[in-house]
Structure 1
Amino acid sequence: MKRQFSIVLLMIAFALNAQTTANRFFYELTFKPKQDSAKLEKVMTVLDISKDKSIYQDYTLPAQDSLIKVAVDEMEKTKTWKDISKSLVLPKFTYKVIKSYPSMKSTYEDRISRNLFGYEEDLKFNWKISSEKEKIGEYNTQKATADFGGRQWTAWFSTDIPFQDGPYKFSGLPGLIVKIEDSGHNYSWLLKGNKKLENYSEQTEAEKINEKYGMSSKVNIVSKERFEKAYNNFKADPLAEARPYMSNAEVMNRKMPGSDVTLGQYLKEQEKIAKDFFNSNDNPIEISSSPKK
C-alpha cells in the first residue's frame, strides 16, 4: 500500500513538472507603425507553447524580468520609491494572444487602466496551401496564403515543427509558421530561434508585481466591439479613472515615498508615456474585423 502511494505521488510530481515546461519560439517582428511612412521598426516577440495553450506577446518586458525584480525588491527593502520605467525599455505592444489547445480558440487581452479585458474568437483561416517550398534559415518550409483582417497574408510553415500555430492570431497550418507577412509589407514575422523553458511561468515579473499591488490579473471577457470601444476611450484619456482624485491638491502634492516627486508629477509623466505609446502606432495589424471565407 505504501509503495502504491509512493507511485501515485511520483506520478503527480511528473504531472506537475510537465505543466511547468514550455517551448518558446522567438519571432522578430518588422512593422510599419505609421500608415503614411516608409519607416520600419523591429521588436522581438515570443510564442510560448505549453501543453494546453500558447501565449503570444511582445518580449520586451519579459526579457527584463530580472531587472524589474531586483528594482522592486530594493524598493520594498528600503521603503523608497523609484520610477523604474526610466530604466526600462518599454514595449511596442502590450496585448497578449492566448490560444487554447486543441480547439485553437483565441483570447486577445490587454490592460485597460487597472483592469484586464479580453475578447474571444474562434477563427478559421481559409489557407490556400501551395506546392512551393523554400528553405528559410534551418527550416524547410512550404507556402500558404490567406486573407485576414483586411490584408492578404503569405505564410511559410514547417511540418518539421509539429505545432499548428504561429505568431499573433495566426494558426491552422500543418506545422509551425516560420515566416508570415502581408502583401503591403506592413507586418512581417520571422522565426529566429527557440528554446525549452523548464520552469515556465505564464506571468511576467511585471504582472506579478501589478497583481501584488492591487491590479487585478483576472481577465474580464467582453465582446470585441465592447473591448474596442473601452480601449479607444482609454487611449483618449489614459487617466480617466484617476481624474476625479486629481482635483484634490493635497493628494496630488504628496511626495512619493523616499522621493521628491509628487503624485501629481508622477501621474502627469505616466499620462505622457501612455499618450506617446498610443500615438506611436496608427497602423493596426487588422484593418477589418474577420477573415474572409
Structure 2
Amino acid sequence: MSARWGKPYHDHRDWPRYNEALVVRGEFYLDLGQFRTWDQELAVMNRGKRGGRYLIPESFVRWLVIWKQLIDYRGLEGITRKMAELRLIPTYPDYTTLWHRLHRLTPALKMPKYSELELASDGTGLKTSNAGEYRIFRYGDPDARQKKHLVVVITADVRRKKVIGIEVHIEGKGHSEPQTAVAHLRDATERGYRVRKFYRDGAYDTHGMFSALHTMGTEPVITIRKNAQSRGRHSPRGTSIDGKPFGNTKPLAMRRGRSRSATVFGGRGPRGSSRR
C-alpha cells in the first residue's frame, strides 16, 4: 500500500475535551432551563394583552424549533403532551397552535461582540430540478420554463467565520447579490461595527458596490472583471482598489493561493485544491 500523498496530517486536538464536547452537544436537545421561568414569562407576555391569553411562553416555542428539524408538528404535540403528563410543563399546545406560534417567530442573528470586521458575501441557489414535488409546485416547474429557485445570500466575517447577515428570496424577486451585500454592510455599520475590508469576486465588481464601500470607509478587496471598461477613472471603483488606479485586473482577493471569501464559505480553492 502506497504512502499517503501530500503533507502528513497531524491531529493536535485535545481528544478528551473534544469527546466531552460531543457528549454535551446532546444536552442541547433537552435543555429544560427555560421552563423555570414559565409563569414569569407568561405574565410579561400577557401584560396588557387583549383577547385570549398566552398559555405557552416564547422561550418554549423557540426550544421546540430545535425539535421541529427532526419531527413534524403532530409529533411535537405528542412530545409536549408527554412532558405535561410528567409534570415538566403545566400544559401543552395542539399542533395547530404550534404551527402558528413557530411561523410567527422572527429569527435573529447573534452578532459578534468584537467591533472590527472583515467581511465577505456569497450567494447560492437551490435548483428545483433536484428537488421534490413541493418545491417544484411552490417555485415553478423546470419543464414549463419556470426554473425558479431559492437564492441564499450570506455575509460573514472571514477571520472568525461569524455570520452577520442572511437574505433568502426566490430568483428574480429579490435584490441582487451586490445589493444584498451592501444592505448587510450598512446594517453592520449602523450597529456600530467597523468593516475594515470586504472580499469578493468579479460578480461584485459594480460601481454601486464600490461607492457604498467608499462611503462606509471600507477597503474593497474585489477581483476586477477582465472585460472592465476604462471609464470612470476618478470614481470610487477606479481609485479605491488597494490604492491602484482603475483598470488593474489583478485578482486582489487572492491571498496565498486562496481567496478569503472561498475559505469562509467552504468553497474549493484555485487549481482544484480543496479545504481539509
**TM-score (norm. length: structure 1):** 0.22
Structure with greater strand percent: 1
**TM-score (norm. length: structure 2):** 0.23
